Amino acid sequence: MSCAICETRKEKRFCLALHGRICRQCCAEQREVTLDCPSECVYLQQAREHEKPSAEEFAEKVKDADLFAKVDLSGDFVDEHRELIVAFSYAVAKCARADRSVYDRDLIAALTSLSKRYETRINSGLHYESPITSLAQQAISAEVQNMLMEFRQAEQKHFGYARLRDTDVLRALVFLLRMAYRKSMGRAKSRAFIDFLLAQFPVNESAILAPDQVGSRLVMP
C-alpha cells in the first residue's frame, strides 16, 4: 500500500492525525506542519526527544529571536518568584486546555506582547498595549492579566500590601517566554510546550498555590 499523503512511497507507520498509514518521510516533513498530531503519537514523542536544542543552540536562539536578551534571570529570581511563575504558567495552561486550536505559537505571541507591554511601562512609564488580533492570543493575555490581579490581591491579603514590582512581572513573563521557545518544536502546529504545561497542572488543581505547595515542578529553560 502507498502513503496516504504522497501516494508514492510505501506506507510504514499509522498516522493518528489522518487515521491512515503514511511513509516515514511524509511523517517527518508534515508532522505538526500540515498534520495536527495528537500528543500521544509515539513518533511525535520520539521526534521531540531527538530535536531538543542544546544549551549552546538555545543561547544563540535567545540572541537571535525577540527573547528580551537584556532581561537578566540569573541569581535567585526563579526561587524567589516561583509562585508568580507557576501562577502565570497555570493561566497559560488553562487557556490551552480550554481550546484545542491553541498552539505554541499563540502562547509565544501572547507572552511576547505582554512582555513588550511591561518593558515599555518600565522604561518609559507609558501604559502601551500592542494590538493583538488573534482571539486565542487575546484570551491568553487576558487570563494571564487576571491571574496577576489575583496574585496581587493575595499578596495584599497576606502581607497587607502588594510587594510585586513591574520588573518582577516582566522577568516572570520572559522566563515563561524563553521556556516556551525551549520546549516548542517551532512548527506551525507545535504543542510541545503546551503538553509540557498540561503535564504540570492536573485538571482542577488550584491556580494560586501556597509557597509550600509549589515545589520545583518547572525546570529552568
Same domain? For 62 and 169 the reply is yes
The Cα–Cα gap between 69 and 177 comes to 11
Q: Is the residue at 81 inside a domain?
A: yes
Q: Is the residue at 220 inside a domain?
A: no
Q: Is the residue at 219 inside a domain?
A: no
Structure confidence by residue, pLDDT tens digits, 118-148:
999 998 877 666 666 789 999 999 999 999 9
> What pTM does this model have?
0.84
Same domain? For 4 and 98 the reply is no
What pLDDT is stored for residue 134 in this prediction? 86
Position 65 pLDDT exceeds 60:
yes
What pLDDT is stored for residue 51 in this prediction? 82
Mean of pLDDT over the chain = 85
What pLDDT is stored for residue 63 in this prediction? 64
Q: 34 or 60: whose pLDDT is higher?
A: 34
Q: DSSP E strands: which ranges in 6-100? A: 13-15, 20-22
What pLDDT is stored for residue 205 in this prediction? 54
Same domain? For 1 and 27 the reply is yes
The Cα–Cα gap between 181 and 61 comes to 8
Give the total number of structural domains in the chain: 2
Q: Which of 36, 51, 66 is the last residue of a domain?
A: 51
Same domain? For 33 and 68 the reply is no
Q: Give the Å distances, CA to CA, from 146 to 91, 111, 126.
A: 8, 14, 20
Same domain? For 204 and 95 the reply is yes
Q: Which of 35, 51, 67 is the last residue of a domain?
A: 51
What pLDDT is stored for residue 210 in this prediction? 44
- Per the structure, the complete domain to which residue 6 belongs is given by 1-51
The Cα–Cα gap between 117 and 174 comes to 12
Query: Residue with C-alpha cell 502507498?
Result: 2
What pLDDT is stored for residue 206 in this prediction? 52
Same domain? For 94 and 158 the reply is yes
DSSP output for 114-149: HHHHHHHHHHH----------HHHHHHHHHHHHHHH
Same domain? For 28 and 101 the reply is no
First-to-final CA distance of the chain: 43
Structure confidence by residue, pLDDT tens digits, 185-201:
889 999 999 999 999 88
